[in-house]
Structure 1
Amino acid sequence: MKRVGGRKGADHEGRDEAGRLAGPEHFGTKLVVSLVLSIMVLMVGYRYWRLLEWRKILFSQQARKVHAVSRTLQVAIENTLKRGRWEDLESLFREVQDLSGIDRVTLFRGDGSILLSSPPSATRAAVSVPTIQRVLKEKKPEGFLGKEEGQQRFHYFTLVRRAWHGSPSVLEVVVSTSLIEQILATRRSEIIFGGLFMGVLILSLSWYFTRRNISRPIAQLIRSARTIGSGDLSPRIPVNRKDELGSLAVEFNRMAEGLERARDRLLEATKRKIELERQLQHSEKLAAVGRLAAGLAHEIGTPLNVISGRAEYLLADMEEEDPKARSLRTIVVQIERITRIIDRLLGYARAHSPQIVLTSLARVLSSVLALLDHELDRRGIQVELKLPPGLPHLAVDPHMLQQVFINLLLNALDAMPEGDRVRIAAEARNDWMEVSVEDAGCGIPAADIPRIFDPFFTTKKPGKGTGLGLSVISGIIQEHGGRIEVTSQVGVGTTFRIHLPRYPDQASGPAIHLATLPDGLPEASSD
């Protein structure tokens, strides 16, 4: 019963919430409608006024054009009749009538009869007589708009002196206004459809901004509160306003950030605990390997030495071609291999504290190449060393760093059995030194890359490796406060990138002693 009642209460609260949100929606709708209607009335009124003004301008331009044509014809008619060439006047009228926009050109006598017309017309005299008489009397041009054959035309009358037997005449030029009417009709259509479009656009924008500024902030606040209540602390409300809703959003975000910081502190403490447990497990594993290696070295080392010594003693008394000698040599080789494996186990298990000194990377790499020179030549491997001049010193244990590059080069040799090229490059980046070792070998499958630094993991064939080399490298780099990364593509090659701190106070481990380099690390140039 309690659960049912609680559910009803929740439903009732939801309905109350919906009711509270209905108020802003109705207010927004009223605001949008009133705003759109006001803007539409102002916009349509303004554009209609602009249409009337444009109509005046177009007819004024038409009047100036007709006046210019009439004035030109007036002078041409007077000059032509002065020379007595009536046929030239007819040709002139036809040419003018062919001009764009000129409907008719007519020359009237003083009584309104037609002297000449293009195109020919005999029915216009009665209509134009009052206008002709006014032009003759006042000696001023006159123009008006009138309808003819259902179309509106502009008529312009001009006085022509001595046109007929020395008597004045009147020239009428009729221009069609159909083009102007088409332009005005197009503009009226644009006003109507443009007004409708703008109305829809303004309505949409007003509706959008009203919902955005009134309804959506409240709805977003409710959704964010529900999300945080479910355990997700990531929602934040954008603060883009300075009213009460903006202040509420600021306080809401502060609350969410405080909860998130508390959760992050808890997660960080949990991660530290897990990391400490992992390190403890790793230490226990190393201790177990150390005990195993020590036991193997003690229990197996002595018998192996006896077996190896007896085999070598027997080999000394045998001929080179003796089949038994071949078997004894195999025994000696395999015993040496077992001894190396035990030595590697011991070396991996022992905890060595790095002896930090300031040294140059060039000297370490030079010593490594000197040690592997014979093996590199035997396998046909060329090493390209690219070290820029003025490379800063490193605070490292040179012998441990030497071991890192020896292991990387030996891995590169195993990856390129047919010989190729290894590139070693270094670059100083801010407070770090980046050293890359790139080979053109068989590459490492993408699925194996996350595991290559694990102890005893190897991609080599059985008998070719113990899986400890890269694990040892990773441990040495971490002891020096650095990190190692690998990128590889099967069939193309592998690149190891080592990042080491270049300044003494950044290296982890014991205090740094400004000492000379140990013996056995020859000088090297950085060309």
Structure 2
Amino acid sequence: MRGRPLGVAVDRRMVLQHQRRPGGMRLAHQFWLSLVLPIAMAILLYGIFASAHRKQVLREEATAELRNYATLLQAFVESALQRSDVALVRRRAEDFASAERILGIAAFTSEGEAIFITKGVEREAARLEELARRAFREGGDIEETASLAEQSVLLRTVSIRPSSANQPLVAVLVRDRHYIEVLERTLNHGLAVTGVVLLLVSAVVAGLVGRFTVALPARAILAGAERVASGDLDAAVPERGAEELSRLASAFNTMTCSLREARERAVREEAARVNGERKLQQAQALAAAGQVATSLGHEIGSPLNVIHGRARRAADLPGCPEHLRAELETIARQSERITRVVSRLVSLARPPRPQQADSDLRRVIDDVVAFLGPECRRRGIEPSVVCEGAARVRVALDSDRLFQVVFNLCLNAVEAQSRGGELEVRILPECDGPAGSSVVCFEVADAGPGIPGEDLRRIFDPFFTTKAAGGGSGLGLAIVRGIVEEAGGSVEATASSTGGACFRVTLPAIVSGSPASVEASSEASSESNRGGREEGQKA
């Protein structure tokens, strides 16, 4: 999988189009309108229907009350006329006129003669007389609304038929209707104020609820989605708000977590693929180098030995000039170098062999340091061996291959310090390794220029070298890693405390009393006995 990790490969054009898209109404505003508008419509419709119903009820109540007064007036007037007591009729009319909301009463004969008119309606006598004449003509009671003296009133005629001795009359009751309009306006005003307050409260509550349960959670989810769209898979949104939004936020966080895991898995797979390709290339290079080395070993091994031997023999001849001896020594050294390179190639390309051996780490290190002593003195390097653990530590690696590991690391440290310095080999205490096994670590540190950071990743690759042109084959550290990993250990390069390079090697330790330790001791004893017998036979 090449390219950017999963979750980062986003079509930028779609993101830009989304950002340029004209914005519509926000979700919080839609939520607010969806709550406030129905409430406002409900209040308005309720006000309209309630006002109409209330007006109708008030009018019906006023009409019913006026009819009751008309019935009572009819009974009292008829009773008084039967007694021919006109004065009583007038008193009764004045009593009725003093009732609540009754403005006045007037009575007329069929000829239009006024029997009585109360004070409240004296000025409207002509209009009341006309209404009474209409009642006589139609032969029934009349009820209607009118405006008297710029005041809304309710008029009601009452037909009075006393005994045959008295002529019939028509009484007209005038009832106030203006109070109904005042009451309607008052109630409508109160209803309007109540509706506005209710609407404001609903708007505020809907705004707060929409903000904290819808707007903020939705805005957080939108911001998280935009971060994910820009490649940030660490985005997380708070799981709050309405149930659906909370579940959406939880699903969003789960999705980003899955995307992060997928990206990390893709990165690991990419790294594993690159590492596999690199190892495959190294294996192919080693296989080719092995074939070449094997051919070279067969073809040039014998001539090199002859050249080396003849050069050494010629240099040791008495009377050989010094300049010729120097040239012969150069030929011998270069022959040895070619032999070592070929040997390294062959050993590096050779399939690993199972090793069941046991070596004394301290003794091998001492042998290597002693062997490199003359070279260290020539370069002005101070070697030292520091043992922080037990004096004798045994590792699961044969002494020859362990010597090769320590020698290559120490030789690199010596060659990295051409103007003097120090070589420190430090044996660390035993510690627990994987699966509870015991491991031993030792470090080889120098005071040289160190290893550049960009070269640390390739330092153990075959044929990679940081030495000057012609100064190395690039196989020493590759051989070290191959031997150590074959034994079940590991090797890594870091910077030393003095600023130079430091190589730490970890090898499986041989625990005293283990089968491997007993076997190694038996083999050492057998070798010693075998050597003693051979010496005795020679004697």
Query: Are the counterparts in 1 of residues 27 and 215 from structure 2 also a CA contact under 8 Å?
Result: no
CA distance in 2, matches of 1:389, 1:341: 36
**Cα drift, residue 392 of structure 1:** 7.3
Instruction: Find the partner of 1:452 among 459, 462, 467.
Output: 459
Report the equivalent of 1:346.
346
2:503 aligned with 1:515, yes or no?
Answer: no
**Cα drift, residue 251 of structure 1:** 2.4
Whichever residue aligns with residue 421 of structure 1, its letter is E
CA distance in 2, matches of 1:399, 1:482: 16
Task: Please list, as runs of the form range in 1=range in 2, the aligned pairs for 1:126-205 lying within 5 A after superposition.
Answer: none
**Cα drift, residue 290 of structure 1:** 0.7
Report the equivalent of 1:289.
289
- The alignment-based identity, stated in percent, is 34
Whichever residue aligns with residue 441 of structure 1, its letter is G
Q: Higher mean Cα deviation, 248-257 or 308-317?
A: 308-317
Closer, same or farther: CA 213–515 of 1 in aligned 2, 3 Å? farther
Report the equivalent of 2:448.
441
Report the equivalent of 1:48.
none
CA distance in 1, matches of 2:347, 2:20: 74
TM-score with structure 2 length normalisation? 0.50
CA distance in 2, matches of 1:240, 1:402: 66
Query: Are the counterparts in 1 of residues 362 and 391 from structure 2 also a CA contact under 8 Å?
Result: no
SS in 2 for 1:423: strand
TM-score with structure 1 length normalisation? 0.51
Report the equivalent of 1:118.
none
CA distance in 2, matches of 1:221, 1:354: 59
Whichever residue aligns with residue 490 of structure 2, its letter is R
Query: Are the counterparts in 2 of residues 452 and 470 from structure 1 also a CA contact under 8 Å?
Result: yes
Query: Are the counterparts in 2 of residues 368 and 402 from structure 1 also a CA contact under 8 Å?
Result: yes
2:362 aligned with 1:355, yes or no?
Answer: no
SS in 1 for 2:26: helix
SS in 2 for 1:381: strand
Q: Report the structure number with the largest CA radius of gyration.
A: 2
Report the equivalent of 2:505.
498
CA distance in 1, matches of 2:388, 2:226: 59
List gaps (5 residues or longer) in structure 2: 1-13, 35-206, 434-438, 526-539
CA distance in 2, matches of 1:301, 1:415: 30
SS in 1 for 2:246: helix
Query: Are the counterparts in 2 of residues 445 and 490 from structure 1 also a CA contact under 8 Å?
Result: no
Instruction: Find the partner of 2:476 among 469, 482, 486.
Output: 469
Report the equivalent of 1:483.
490
Report the equivalent of 2:280.
280
CA distance in 2, matches of 1:377, 1:12: 75
Query: Are the counterparts in 2 of residues 420 and 440 from structure 1 also a CA contact under 8 Å?
Result: yes
Report the equivalent of 2:137.
none
Q: Deviations over 1:461-484 (max 9, x none)?
A: 444422211222233333344433
CA distance in 2, matches of 1:416, 1:12: 63
CA distance in 2, matches of 1:257, 1:313: 75
Query: Are the counterparts in 2 of residues 357 and 514 from structure 1 also a CA contact under 8 Å?
Result: no
Query: Are the counterparts in 2 of residues 354 and 397 from structure 1 also a CA contact under 8 Å?
Result: no
CA distance in 1, matches of 2:510, 2:238: 44
Query: Are the counterparts in 1 of residues 356 and 398 from structure 2 also a CA contact under 8 Å?
Result: yes
Q: Deviations over 1:101-126 (max 9, x none)?
A: xxxxxxxxxxxxxxxxxxxxxxxxxx
Whichever residue aligns with residue 225 of structure 2, its letter is A
**Cα drift, residue 24 of structure 1:** 6.5
Provide the aligned length of Structure 1 versus Structure 2. 329
Closer, same or farther: CA 236–418 of 1 in aligned 2, 3 Å? same
CA distance in 2, matches of 1:378, 1:415: 14
Query: Are the counterparts in 1 of residues 458 and 464 from structure 2 also a CA contact under 8 Å?
Result: yes
**RMSD of aligned C-alpha atoms?**
4.5
Whichever residue aligns with residue 408 of structure 1, its letter is L
**Cα drift, residue 438 of structure 1:** 1.8
Query: Are the counterparts in 2 of residues 404 and 473 from structure 1 also a CA contact under 8 Å?
Result: yes
Query: Are the counterparts in 2 of residues 424 and 436 from structure 1 also a CA contact under 8 Å?
Result: yes
SS in 2 for 1:435: strand
Closer, same or farther: CA 514–225 of 1 in aligned 2, 3 Å? farther
